[in-house]
């Protein structure tokens, strides 16, 4: 019962992430890759993502500091990478922010880039928190939901 | 694994039957399980996800963060992988470049991936020969089917790659290629790689307006011009094989033929536009005289392609005068060189020229663009320096385009090898490629000289150009432009006689690589056509025809694989020769040429070449370059061989059949 309950809760958490538009189908794809041999696959991937993307974030931050001579090409390249990474874990909102940023880049709009990036970082951080909570709860709930179905 | 048996049995059997691929064979029962995939992506997150997904598909996965590492892995274990998945944007090497390398060196199917779904990028994948293009984030479903590319490729290759005009092969290949090309999304596997040369070409082009089994379709100058007209009519973006075919309305020509030709052309364009090498150092020396001539005719470079027949004539004219900056000059130059050198020697003989013009007159032209020429031409344009540029470009482009070619030169005396191994035809080439000395024909020597001089970069190229291929009389048949145009070859040697000539020859060689595919098919014989025209041009062109051609050739040659080189060489020669011829006119048997080329080449060439070239080249070169690269040495060899064979088959091919094409003469 407890387990079922927590699983349901977990499911609800996940559902809410989807409902809020924070995650998309790709996340489900990752979950489907999780099995007994790879029980924590999704969490591992997300951890890897946050670790690697923080590097990109700081690079972009650095590049954005050059207000006067912003290198839009470089920014675009960095953002392209970031977008690819984010989309691979299903970070929907973050990905949308990436697109917005790139638009500003192409338009050569420095202010727009800066603002958009601020927003992006917010979404990025928010998702991180929620996923951390989710995974923590999942670990506490025991084996993955797929492995343990409510009776 | 075995669970996949039933499903796999089908592919298994096909793959098993292929037996060419070791891996597949061994795991045939479980196919596609056990498929050995190499995945390359600089993003660690994506890399891990892909690895996991591929493992879930029961594939054997090797992951790699860097393209260089991937290449060394592949090189270190040539048969260790069945398919490669690569990201487009990588910090250390562009994904497309990696794609080309793999295509040239290992001829494995490569699937590109990117978060970028822009049409341009996807098109780039297509033109560079990717088997497929996946948009990130990649779903596992998309990966489940990647084995089809392996099977397809094997199927196409299995037909008997070396069979140049095999009948059965043709059919099969045609089918295979069809499937490969059209069934899967942006499945360009077969065409881009070497395979293309061998099989696709055979398969697709084989359909020389008759049965499939026939030797490849020979993209004669006229045919190519029709093609170009159709493409321009539709707009390069909208040019789809089906529509092109409709516009061209050539009986017996299949969509596959057009598709394959289009692919080459696109590669050529790509190369041309992308290549602008500053090889000038060498070239400049040569080109200078020619440059002036060429400058006027930037078309030269381009013309070669389009004009093939015409261009030659035009080129020559242009070369003589305007130093077509673009590719054109070369043809002329070469021609001039060639001609001037040995006008008399040229065997061309009127007959030959005529042949050339008629059949493949423009092999050079066509071919060139495709493989090398386009690039070359492009270069030409860019260099505007007339020959000087050309040469340089060629080298540059050739070098660039065809890393492989370069390799050839450097790493192995492929040229030589080819020559030796393949036989007369090929040997020619190798020698040229590899070394200037190539006895193959003078061309080698000539080319080399020419090339080296002009193209610092690719002395090798020249070797290519030197075409041993045609040195022997065989050339006629071979696709090598040099060959085919006996005259040309002679010319080259002649023209090259000092370097200039080689350029021509070489140039063609250079070009051809990329174009080889095309050229091979048809060019073989036609290369000369252009030259004919060139010849007719008249001696006035002399000035630097040789030079110009020289420059051009080297690069061209460089690019192409041997086979292509041959073709291109031929083609180029033709064009160049045409040009050169023109210039040489006086010395050469312009008269003859004129006669010959005139009707064929002159008209078309001149008109078109001048115009066309300018346009065409830029594009083709890119393509050509691609081709070249793809060719890789092996390919060249096979290409050459094929060509040789092919050439032999069609008398036309060697319209020029100069026989006299002994490259040896090329004093270089």
Predicted pLDDT at B441: 39
**Do the Cβ atoms of B593 and B487 come closer than 8 Å?**
yes
B44 touches chain A (CB under 8 A): yes
Most distant pair of Cα atoms in chain A: their distance:
63
Of B45, B136, B139, the CB nearest to A48: B45
Q: Is the pLDDT of residue A99 over 90?
A: yes
Low-confidence ranges of chain B (pLDDT < 70): 1-29, 158-218, 272, 274-668
Do the chains contact at B46 and A85, CB–CB below 8 Å?
yes
* Closest-CA residue to B325 (of B541, B552, B509): B552
Chain A residues with CB-CB distance to B138 below 8 A: 88
Distance from the Cα of A49 to chain B's closest Cα (Å) equals 6
> What residue of B is the nearest CA neighbor of A56?
B43
pLDDT score for B380: 40
Distance, CA of B384 to CA of B327 (rounded, Å):
9
- pLDDT tier at A43, thresholds 50, 70, 90: very high
**Chain A residues touching B56 at Cβ < 8 A:** 33
- Which pLDDT score is estimated for A41? 94
Interface probe, candidates A78, A88, A128, chain B, greatest B C-beta count within 10 A: A88
Closest CA to B525 of B567, B464, B462: B567
Nearest to B609 by CA among B300, B381, B348: B300
Half-sphere exposure for B64 (CA within 13 Å, toward CB) = 24
Provide the pairing of β-strand B36-40 with B60-64: parallel
Distance, in Å, from the CA atom of B323 to the CA atom of B299, rounded to the nearest integer, reads 9
- Amino acid A143: pLDDT: 61
Q: How far apart are CA B481 and CA B486, in angstroms?
A: 9
Q: By C-alpha distance, which of B441, B504, B398 is closest to B662?
A: B441
pTM of the predicted model over 0.95 = no
Average predicted confidence (pLDDT) for chain A: 88
Residues of chain A whose C-beta is under 8 A from some C-beta in B?
26, 29-30, 32-33, 38, 41, 44-45, 48-49, 52-53, 77, 80-81, 83-85, 87-90
Alpha-helical segments (H) within B467-619: 468-471, 481-484, 486-496, 500-502, 508-518, 524-526, 528-537, 545-559, 562-572, 582-584, 590-597, 614-616
B83-87 and B36-40 as β-strands: parallel, antiparallel, unpaired?
Answer: parallel
Which residue has tokens 């996340």? A27
pLDDT at B21: 52
Percent above pLDDT 90 for chain A: 69
Q: Residue with structure tokens 């990966």?
A: B143
User: Which has the closest alpha carbon to B514: B464, B443, B468?
Assistant: B464
B89 at A interface, C-beta within 8 A: yes
Q: How many CB atoms lie within 10 A of CB A102?
A: 19
**pLDDT higher than threshold 60 for residue A104:** yes
Is any Cβ of chain A less than 8 angstroms from the Cβ of B308?
no
How far is Cα B264 from Cα B214, in angstroms, rounded to an integer?
20
Cross-chain residue pair B43–A52, CB shorter than 8 Å? yes
What is the structure's pLDDT at B495? 38
CA distance B115 to chain A (A): 5
Q: What is the pLDDT of residue B229?
A: 86
pLDDT, residue A101, reads 94
Distance in angstroms (rounded) separating the CA atoms of residues B568 and B506: 9
What per-residue confidence (pLDDT) applies to A130?
Answer: 94
> Bridge-partner residues for B111, per DSSP?
B85, B132
CB of B441 closer than 8 Å to CB of B661: yes
Measuring CA to CA, which residue among B421, B438, B284, B307 is closest to residue B373? Answer: B307
User: What pLDDT sits at residue B484?
Assistant: 38
Chain B residues near residue A32 by CB distance under 8 angstroms: 140
Q: Who has greater pLDDT, A30 or A146?
A: A30
| Residue B234 CB neighbours (<10 A) | 15
B532 contacts B368 by C-beta, under 8 angstroms: no
Q: Helix, strand, or coil here: B324?
A: coil
């Amino acid at each position: 019962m407890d387990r079922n309950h927590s699983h349901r809760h977990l499911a609800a958490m996940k559902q809410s992430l989807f409902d809020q538009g924070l995650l998309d189908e790709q996340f489900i794809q990752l979950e489907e890759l999780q099995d007994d041999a790879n029980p924590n696959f999704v969490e591992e991937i997300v951890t890897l993502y946050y670790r690697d993307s923080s590097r990109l974030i700081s690079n972009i931050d650095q590049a954005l500091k050059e207000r006067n001579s912003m290198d839009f090409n470089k920014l675009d390249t960095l953002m392209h990478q970031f977008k690819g990474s984010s989309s691979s874990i299903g970070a929907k909102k973050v990905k949308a922010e990436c697109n917005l940023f790139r638009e500003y880049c192409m338009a050569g709009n420095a202010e727009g880039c800066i603002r958009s990036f601020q927003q992006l970082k917010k979404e990025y951080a928010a998702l991180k928190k929620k996923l951390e909570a989710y995974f923590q709860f999942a670990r506490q709930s025991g084996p993955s939901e797929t492995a343990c179905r409510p009776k | 694994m075995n669970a996949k048996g039933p499903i796999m049995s089908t592919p298994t059997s096909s793959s098993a039957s292929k037996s060419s691929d070791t891996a597949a064979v061994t795991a045939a029962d479980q196919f596609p399980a056990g498929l050995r995939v190499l995945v390359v992506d600089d993003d660690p997150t994506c890399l891990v996800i892909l690895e996991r997904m591929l493992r879930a598909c029961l594939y054997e996965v090797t992951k790699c963060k860097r393209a260089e590492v991937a290449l060394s892995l592949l090189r270190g274990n040539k048969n260790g992988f069945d398919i490669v998945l690569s990201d487009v944007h990588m910090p250390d090497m562009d994904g497309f470049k990696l794609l080309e390398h793999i295509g040239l060196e290992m001829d494995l199917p490569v699937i590109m991936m990117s978060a970028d779904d822009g049409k341009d990028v996807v098109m780039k994948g297509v033109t560079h020969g990717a088997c497929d293009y996946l948009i990130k984030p990649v779903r596992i479903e998309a990966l489940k089917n990647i084995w089809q590319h392996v099977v397809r490729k094997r199927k196409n290759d299995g037909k008997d790659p070396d069979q140049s005009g095999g009948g059965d092969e043709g059919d099969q290949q045609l089918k295979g290629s069809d499937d490969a090309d059209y069934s899967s999304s942006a499945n360009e596997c077969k065409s881009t790689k070497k395979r293309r040369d061998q099989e696709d070409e055979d398969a697709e082009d084989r359909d020389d307006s008759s049965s499939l089994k026939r030797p490849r379709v020979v993209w004669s100058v006229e045919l190519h011009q029709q093609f170009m007209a159709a493409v321009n009519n539709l707009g390069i973006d909208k040019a789809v094989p089906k529509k092109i075919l409709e516009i061209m309305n050539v009986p017996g020509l299949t969509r596959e033929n057009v598709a394959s030709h289009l692919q080459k052309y696109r590669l050529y364009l790509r190369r041309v536009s992308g290549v602008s090498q500053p090889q000038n150092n060498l070239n400049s020396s040569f080109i200078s005289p020619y440059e002036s001539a060429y400058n006027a005719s930037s078309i030269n470079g381009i013309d070669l392609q389009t004009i093939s027949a015409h261009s030659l004539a035009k080129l020559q004219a242009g070369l003589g005068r305007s130093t077509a900056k673009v590719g054109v000059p070369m043809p002329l130059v070469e021609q001039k060189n060639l001609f001037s050198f040995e006008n008399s020697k040229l065997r061309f003989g009127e007959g030959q020229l005529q042949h050339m013009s008629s059949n493949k007159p423009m092999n050079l032209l066509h071919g060139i663009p495709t493989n090398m020429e386009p690039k070359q031409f492009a270069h030409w344009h860019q260099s505007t320096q007339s020959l000087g540029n050309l040469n340089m470009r060629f080298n540059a482009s050739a070098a660039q385009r065809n890393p492989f070619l370069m390799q050839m030169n450097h790493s192995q005396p492929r040229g030589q090898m080819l020559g030796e191994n393949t036989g007369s035809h090929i040997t020619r080439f190798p020698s040229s490629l590899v070394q200037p000395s190539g006895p193959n024909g003078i061309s080698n020597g000539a080319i080399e000289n020419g090339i080296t001089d002009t193209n610092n970069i690719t002395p090798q190229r020249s070797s290519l150009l030197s075409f041993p291929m045609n040195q022997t009389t065989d050339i006629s048949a071979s696709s090598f432009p040099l060959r085919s145009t006996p005259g040309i070859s002679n010319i080259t040697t002649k023209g090259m006689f000092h370097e200039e000539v080689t350029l021509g020859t070489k140039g063609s060689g250079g070009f051809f690589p990329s174009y080889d595919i095309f050229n091979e098919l048809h060019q073989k014989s036609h290369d000369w056509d252009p030259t004919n025209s060139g010849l007719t041009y008249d001696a006035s062109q002399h000035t630097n025809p040789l030079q110009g051609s020289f420059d051009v050739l080297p690069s061209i040659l460089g690019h192409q694989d041997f086979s292509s080189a041959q073709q291109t060489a031929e083609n180029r020669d033709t064009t160049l020769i045409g040009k050169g011829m023109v210039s040489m006119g006086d010395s050469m048997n312009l008269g003859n040429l004129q006669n010959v080329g005139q009707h064929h080449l002159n008209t078309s060439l001149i008109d078109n070449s001048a115009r066309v070239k300018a346009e065409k080249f830029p594009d083709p070169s890119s393509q050509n370059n691609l081709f070249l690269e793809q060719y890789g040495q092996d390919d060249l060899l096979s290409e050459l061989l094929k060509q040789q064979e092919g050439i032999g088959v069609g008398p036309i091919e060697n319209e020029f059949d100069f026989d006299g094409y002994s490259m040896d003469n090329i004093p270089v």
